[in-house]
Amino acid sequence: MPQAFIFDLDGVITDTAELHYQAWKRLADSLEITIDRDFNEKLKGIGRMESLEKILALAPDQQNLSQELKDALATKKNDHYVDLLKMINEEDILPGIKALLMRIRKEGIHVGLASASKNAKYVLSELGLIDQFDYIVDAAQVSKGKPDPETFTRAADYFGVDYNQCIGIEDAPSGVLAVNGAGMFSVAVGSAEALGHAHYRVDQTSQLDFDTIIEAYSVE
C-alpha cells in the first residue's frame, strides 16, 4: 500500500484551469495580445509570473517591461481570477474526487495537496474540502515550482514517507514531470498525447478508481 496520495489542485480537484484562462484572457485582451485555449494548455501547472512571461513573449511591443509593471499586471490577473473564484462551490468539485478522497482517508493513507497556486487554500475552502487534506503545499512554500519535484517532495517530507511510497495525481505535463522527478508514482488525468510520460493515465477524473490505481502502483 502507498503511504500518501498527493493531489494537484487546478484541473484535478476542480476545473479552475478555465477560470485561470478567462482571467489571463481578460488581461491579454487589455494588452492587445491574443491568446486562445490551445495556448492556455502551456500555462497549466506553471506559476503566475512564468505564465505572464509566456504571454508577454507573444507581443514584440511588450518586451523590456519593468519588474514593477510586470508585478502590477500579475496582480491585475489575480484580481480577475479571485473575482471568478467567488462563484465556485462544492458543486465544482470534479466527478469522482470526493469519493476517492473519502476512500483514501478510510484506508488511513495520508492526503496531501501540491499546488503551484497561491490561491490553493482559498479554492479548497470554497469547495468545502479543506478538512480533507492533511497537509497543503502551495506556491508560497517552495523555491522551485513544477516541473521541479519540490512541491511534491515537501508534502512527502512532512508526512515522513519515502517518495516511492507516494502517488501524485496531476493534469499538467509539467506536474507529471515533477511527480516522476520526485521518484513517485504518477497518475495523470487528460490526453495520452500530453501525458504519455505518466505511469498511469485516465481521460477524466470520474475514472480515478482507488483499487485500479493501487493495482497499477503495485505492478510498477
Among 26, 70, 118, 121, binds ligand G6P (CB under 6 A): 118
Q: How far apart are CA 108 and CA 119, in angstroms?
A: 27
Q: Is the CB of 148 or the CB of 209 nearer to ligand G6P?
A: 148
* Partner that binds at residue 113, options Mg ion, ligand G6P, none, CB closer than 5 to 8 Å by kind: none
* Burial readout 18-53 (b: 16 or more C-beta within 10 A, e: otherwise): ebbbebbbbbbeeeebebeeebbeebbbbbbeebbe
- 38 as an active site residue: the answer is no
Q: Are 197 and 178 in contact (CB under 8 A)?
A: no
**Residues within the interface to Mg ion (CB under 5 A):** 8, 10-11, 45, 171-172
- 8 as an active site residue: the answer is yes
Sequence letter at residue 132: Q
Q: Is the CB of 79 or the CB of 220 nearer to ligand G6P?
A: 79
Among 4, 7, 28, 44, binds ligand G6P (CB under 6 A): 44
Pattern of binders to ligand G6P over 97-116, x per CB under 6 A?
-------------------x
Chain center to CA of 201: 16
Catalytic residues: 8, 10
